[in-house]
Each structure stands twice: as structure tokens, then as C-alpha cells.
Amino acid sequence: MGRGAGKVLTSGKLMACWLSLALPTVAADEPHSWLVPVLLPESASAWTGIGDGQQLVHTERAATCTEAHAQLCEDSLSSAIDGTFTEITLPDGTNATHVATGDIGDMWIRDSTEQLTAILQHAEIKPDSTTPEMRRALVGALRAQAFFILEDPYANSFRSSRVDSASLTKSDRGLRRVGWVATGNYELDSSGYFLRYMMDVAERCEELQLNPKDLLDADGLAHSAAKLVLKTWATERSHTAKSSYTYPELSNHGKGAPVKDDIGLIWTGFGPSDNRYLHGYMISSNVFVAVVLERLAAFATKVWKDEAMADLAADLAAGIKKGLQAHGKAKGGHYCFTVDGLGGCEEMDDANLPSLLSLPLLDPEQSIVEIDATILTRQWVLSKKNPYYNCGRRPATSEVCGIGSPHTQTEIPNGIWPMSVIVQRATAEDADEREACLATLLTSAKAGGDILHESFDPDSPMHWTRANFAWVDSLFARFACDECWDGIGGVVSNASARVDRLRRYAGMRHGDAASFQVGSRSWRWLGLGRP
């Protein structure tokens, strides 16, 4: 994935990846809008709402990198991959890569995509930083994602091996936790991340010497999974009338709270936090998938010659945009967190991505969101009006603020999630705000054992949740390390204590893998051994 909003890939490079596709010949510098990156701001720029009122303008910022900042960048990049990759064998005999999300051994498609995207981003800056094993894992993870979606397009996390249904409890089966499925919460954004990663791999396959030809060909595994994703999303536009999905944790006999069908928005049972919310149409997740759909529409035509998929993707994206215009905003002009199409508007924001705070990152080209509403939304969610915007309660910590989540409300009622602070920094225009965000992140990391965690207490940052949370590490490496990239080494561990800790939490062991050299230190690849 390119880091600049205008960086694209030529069809010549794609031809090198799929010789059988016979893509049309175009000029080497001809831009392909279907490959415009999503979710990455311009390098060394901040997103701001100033200017002509019609677009988000890039503004340059100072490039500084302290030793503590650089160390956290290095550690975060390492944490995204160390001890989390396991080679698995699929039923057809092909190998794939299971990517655990830190201290939880299951693979969330969303989390794994962010982990892999951090590697892709670093590889762009340091092309020699990846190894053959790493490159195989990048393709293997895509194979695993596609396979898992074909197993259950509604599931959100998956095991590294299949569990026989006879060994499962009635409760497990009721929660769809059968076969490869670890959790069956339907989260709209999850399969959107698969589509995004699939197209990112397409963009980078020649540069990284990837060979996904059998995986990404028309009628290949990824193509089949993409078709199922779009079919599922089309169904969930009419959730009440057409969907067969139910879940015991949802109201209304497992169908969830009532919503109005056919308003263009796509229903979801849960948000990216794995929590259920008041209404079924989550605004930020719909924005995210709409941007992915616009990109997919062109991709399906260019790469797969699949006009039916392209048409459906374009129709779904257009429907979301229409639904946002008609139902997406609160009376104050900011975007709602969730809506039902019946007049209901849930006013809050959760730290988990996609979030309302992340809208400028989700839709940098403003093809879906409205700039004025996005600016108002940022102001609203970073205020006490947002019930999950928390600050320290003591005078010394009162300016330590950030967005938390109902997911950790019980453990830390006033908690802040570092990922929300990362997003705030990435979307901030003001240099002082960016500096304050970084200071908060560095302080919380130091208090938490020199690592970021899922959440922390602003009054007592050594009180945190999740010992190792690869998702937040990946986000920090992607969005908070522009100033430090030049000093970051290869994508391997740089501290033996960290390696031991990750092995312990992830339940991994050293496998038969190559050794790597970073400076004067040698380390072994942790991810290719079986647990």
C-alpha cells in the first residue's frame, strides 16, 4: 500500500504478478483510481478541515523523533508480528498463515489486516526489511482470511485449527463457534478489512516478490470470498426481511433492535469492539466499507473482468452514501455513532476502529463523508458530550484525555484506549495537540512496561488491560512513526525479554525458521513454529 494519497500502481506491475490476467497496456504513469490507498494519511502531513470547505487539506509538520519515540516505534512494529504468525494447513492441502492478535491466540480479520499493513508500510520505506519467510506469510495470511470468510462470512475471529463440532457445547454451537470459528459476532468492518488487504497485496506483489497468482486469479480463493462478502452485505441491507443471521446476545430473538430496511446502509450486529450497540447501522463501519467498495468496483473490472461484482460494489457504495445523507447525522450536524433508519441516533464514539474520530483516515478523498459534518464530529467526540471521552480525575492528570470503550468499562471505568489517542494525533492540525497526544502515548507505554496496551487508567497508567495487544501496536507503527521510520531496523524483535514475554503470552515456540541479523544482534523468527 502506498503512503501518499496520490500514489498508485501501474498495470505493468500487476501484469508481473498475474501473467494470466492479460491486463490492458497503459502508460506507466497513468493513475488507477482503483488502487488509491485507503486508511493512510499523506506522509508527514496532518488532515485538517481548513481551506475551501470542500476538502481535507494537507499541512506539513515538523519531523522530530526522540529516543523514546523511536524505541516505541521499533517495539510496536515488532509486537505486530512477533509470536503471532503460525503456519497452518487448509483442507485442500495448501499452506496458510494464522495471525493471532497478541495475547489472544485467535485470528481477527480486522486485527490481522492492521498487523500486516504495518509490515507492508515499513517494507515500502525499507524494501530490504522483509525476509522470504515474511513475504510468504503476507500471502499466507490473505489465503487464511479468504478461507475463513468462505467458512462463515458472519464470523469475526478464527482458530488456528478446526474443532470437531461433537466436542463443542450447545452454547458454543448456538454462538456459531464451530469448526474454525472462534467467535461468531457479525461485525460489518471485518470482511471490509479482508477486501482492503487483498487489494493492498495486489498492489505490492511485484515489489515484495509475492506470488499470489493462484490465490488472486478470477475464480480463485480471494475472488470467491469477495463475492460472498458482497452477497452478504447485499442481504444485510434488508436485515429484517432477508437475513437469517441471529445471535443469542442480540435482542428481538437474536435479530437485534428493529431497523428500517432498504435505506442503503448495511446492518451489523456488533461494532469493532465486539460489543453490541443501540442501533444496527454503524456509521463509521459503513463509511469504511463504502470506500473499500468504491475501490473494489474498479478492481473487479480491471483485474477479474467481473462486471457483475463491479456493479454490485458500486451499487452498495452508492446506497451507503445515500443512507448517510438521509439518516447519518444528529440534530447538531455531527455524525451519529449508530442509527436505525427510524429516527434513532446513538450519540457517542468508541475508541475501536472504525470510529467517528477516524473518519478523515477512513475517507481521505471525501468520496463518502461530508467535510463540514466530519469537522463537527471530531469536535463533538473529543468533548465531554461523548460519554466515552475520559480525562484524568486529579489536577495533575486532568489534561490526560482520550476516548475509551464500553468493552473495558468494567475493568477501568475511566479508561483511555491508546488507539484513540493515535487517531487523534493522526487527524490533528495543531502541533501542540499532536505533541500532547504523543506525550500521553509515551507516558502510558512507559508505565505499562514500555509497551502500549488496550486501555489504561489516566490517573494510574500502570493499571491497564491486555498484556499484548497487537492491533494498537500496528496502529502506532502506521500512524505515529513518520518522524522515526528512518531509524527503525528490520521487522524482527530487538529485545530478548520482549521475545520471551510474547512467546509466553501467545503460547508459541521457536520453529524451524531462519535467523535474522539486526545490527550486532541475531534473532530467530518466532512465527513459523506450531504451538
Task: Decide if 187 contacts 156 (C-beta within 8 A).
Answer: yes
CA angle in degrees (0–180, nearest 5) for 392-398-403? 50
Q: Mind listing the pLDDT tens digit for each residue in 187-240? A: 999 999 999 999 999 888 777 777 766 788 888 999 999 999 999 999 999 999
Q: Mind listing the pLDDT tens digit for each residue in 237-249? A: 999 999 999 999 9
Whole domain around residue 412: which residue ranges?
A: 388-465
What is the DSSP-derived secondary structure letter of residue 408? G
Please give the Cα distance from 54 to 39 (Å, whole number).
Answer: 19
Q: Which of 44-48, 460-464, 471-475 has the lowest mean pLDDT?
A: 44-48
For position 486, what pLDDT does the model report?
Answer: 63
Please give the Cα distance from 441 to 113 (Å, whole number).
Answer: 22
Q: Is residue 399 part of a domain?
A: yes
* Residue 428 amino acid letter: A
Strand ranges (E), 74-203:
85-89, 95-99, 107-108, 157-163, 179-183
Give, to the nearest 10 degrees, the angle between helix 496-506 and helix 67-79: 30
Q: Is residue 427 part of a domain?
A: yes
Q: Is residue 21 part of a domain?
A: no
SS (H, E, C) 142-175: HHHHHHHHHHCCCCCEEEEEEECHHHCCHHHHHC
Q: Is residue 38 part of a domain?
A: no
Residue 25 pLDDT > 60, yes or no? no
Q: Is residue 84 part of a domain?
A: no
Q: Is residue 260 part of a domain?
A: no
User: Rounded to two decimals, what is the model's pTM?
Assistant: 0.82
What is the DSSP-derived secondary structure letter of residue 301? I
Task: Return the sign of the alpha-carbon dihedral for residues 502, 508, 510, 511.
Answer: negative
Residue 62 pLDDT > 70, yes or no? no
Number of domains within the chain? 1
Please give the Cα distance from 517 to 523 (Å, whole number).
Answer: 6
Q: Is residue 164 part of a domain?
A: no
Residue 328 pLDDT > 50, yes or no? yes
- State the pLDDT confidence band at 277, using cuts at 50, 70 and 90: very high
How many secondary structure helices (H) and strands (E) does the chain include? 17, 16
Q: Is residue 407 part of a domain?
A: yes
For position 493, what pLDDT does the model report?
Answer: 33
